[in-house]
Amino acid sequence: MTSASEPLAPSRLTVNSGALAANYKLLREAAGCETAGVIKANGYGTGSPNALETLKGAGCKHFFVATPEEALSLGTAGLYVLGGVYKGAETDYAAQGLIPVLNSLEEISRWHSCARRVGKKLPAIVHFDTAMNRLGLGAEETKKLIAYKSLLDGIDVRYIMSHFACSDENGHPHNEAQVQRFRAIAAEFPGVKASLANSSGIMRSKDWCFDLARPGYALYGGNPLPEQSNPMSRVVTLEARVLQIRTARRGETVGYGASHTFEKDTTLATLSLGYADGFLRSGSGTAKLFWNGQPCPVRGRVSMDLITVETGHLQNPPQTGDFMEVLGPHQSVDDLARAAGTTGYEILTSLSPRAKRVYTG
Ligand SMILES: *Cc1c(COP(=O)(O)O)cnc(C)c1O
């Protein structure tokens, strides 16, 4: 917890690539089938170039991003784009080797026309909605596609897929219902490979994995089974720099809105971490940081670039220039999410470029 190695860093985000690879292998084992890596949103905040390379090294051959720019920024052809083929961008996708997840008949029709224009078959995944009502062919569109398979002429359908709405909830009735709907759809496309499960779905049942599993969150150490202890290895450690130590007197307040009043004299550490760094403002007054394993409550409001934590109770409190634990052995992504009233997905993807990313083994 020294500052010497990163003298200019306001905060340090250490990404353990070995843990990422180990998580991939554990998920692949649990899935019992080909397993992709979901590396959208900058690899859930950890850095998508590192996620891509690390997962490739672990044997991963299929990658999902959300947007075409996320795919292009990685400079690798053959990535699957969950957001589909944007209207008017079909030839760009084809030229750049992007593989869209086709989310409606309208998209299928545009990709089909593009294939005819460029004079070759174009790869795609076809997405059926089975409960999300977000993207994917709905029941009516699904019926129509099954009746008119020629709508897919010119399209090399690599997989059909669907996506769970509630797989993080053990025993949610949507889960089995979605599996049954998807199984019925898959039966109409014999010989075409199928993909359904995300992180939680994989860990709940091998039977939900079909031919290609699609984990994201659990790769990065998030707990896919919230009702039990986390089987995944920790990938992310976040530490923030102490800028100043102050004394606060009984009756004084701290921060914007003076939301916290001290009941006794204490000391405060002001750290270089705020909501612009991804430390959510909803953690004001409820979240903690850790120093040598000791919790230090956040006092007052989280501001854009700074937070204040109470350190008056510590035997050997941190000093200016020390780095305190935000995420690490004493506080998981899921723990901090609970304290801030959100999910670990939002904690990870909120991590900003301000945090100096350090990649280890
Ligand atoms: C984000 C996403 C995933 C990965 O989900 P996790 O819960 O992070 O494992 C899989 N499939 C689709 C369609 C997604 O949007």
User: So which residues are the catalytic ones?
Assistant: 40, 256
267-274 mean pLDDT: 98
pLDDT tens digit string along 21-54? 999 999 999 999 999 999 999 999 999 999 999 9
Q: Which of 214, 220, 346, 349 to mutate to test the pocket of ligand 1 (most atoms within 8 A of CB)?
A: 214
**C-alpha torsion 168→174→176→178, nearest 10:** -100
Q: Show the ligand 1 pocket: residues with CB < 6 angstroms.
A: 38, 40, 82, 163, 198-199, 214-218
Mean pLDDT rounded to a whole number for the chain: 97
Atom 1 (ligand 1) nearest CA: 216
Tell me how far the alpha carbon of residue 277 lies from the centroid of ligand 1, in angstroms. Answer: 24
Distance from C-alpha of 95 to C-alpha of 118, rounded to nearest angstrom: 9
Tell me how far the alpha carbon of residue 214 lies from the centroid of ligand 1, in angstroms. Answer: 6
Tell me how far the alpha carbon of residue 150 lies from the centroid of ligand 1, in angstroms. Answer: 29
Q: Which atom of ligand 1 is nearest to the CA of 218?
A: 9
3-state secondary structure of 325: strand
Tell me how far the alpha carbon of residue 283 lies from the centroid of ligand 1, in angstroms. Answer: 25
Q: Which of 55, 67, 82, 232 to mutate to test the pocket of ligand 1 (most atoms within 8 A of CB)?
A: 82
CA distances in angstroms from 356 to 7, 12, 13, 241, 277, listed in the order given = 11, 5, 6, 11, 11
pLDDT tens digit string along 98-157? 999 999 999 999 999 999 999 999 999 999 999 999 999 999 999 999 999 999 999 999
pLDDT value, residue 5: 67
pLDDT value, residue 361: 86
Tell me how far the alpha carbon of residue 285 lies from the centroid of ligand 1, in angstroms. Answer: 31
Distance from C-alpha of 23 to C-alpha of 55, rounded to nearest angstrom: 10
Tell me how far the alpha carbon of residue 208 lies from the centroid of ligand 1, in angstroms. Answer: 14
Q: Which of 167, 198, 208, 223 to mutate to test the pocket of ligand 1 (most atoms within 8 A of CB)?
A: 198
Q: Which atom of ligand 1 is nearest to the CA of 215?
A: 9
Q: Which atom of ligand 1 is nearest to the CA of 44?
A: 8
CA distances in angstroms from 233 to 36, 158, 167, 269, 328, listed in the order given = 18, 31, 20, 30, 11
3-state secondary structure of 99: strand
Q: Which atom of ligand 1 is nearest to the CA of 345?
A: 8
Tell me how far the alpha carbon of residue 222 lies from the centroid of ligand 1, in angstroms. Answer: 13
269-275 mean pLDDT: 98
pLDDT value, residue 6: 80
pLDDT value, residue 2: 44
Distance from C-alpha of 28 to C-alpha of 35, rounded to nearest angstrom: 6
Distance from C-alpha of 129 to C-alpha of 135, rounded to nearest angstrom: 7
Q: Which atom of ligand 1 is nearest to the CA of 163?
A: 13
Residue pair 106/84 in contact (Cβ under 8 Å)? The answer is no
Q: What count of other Cβ atoms lies within 10 Å of the Cβ of residue 227? A: 9
pLDDT higher than threshold 90 for residue 4: no
Atom 4 (ligand 1) nearest CA: 216
Q: Which of 38, 130, 225, 334 to mutate to test the pocket of ligand 1 (most atoms within 8 A of CB)?
A: 38
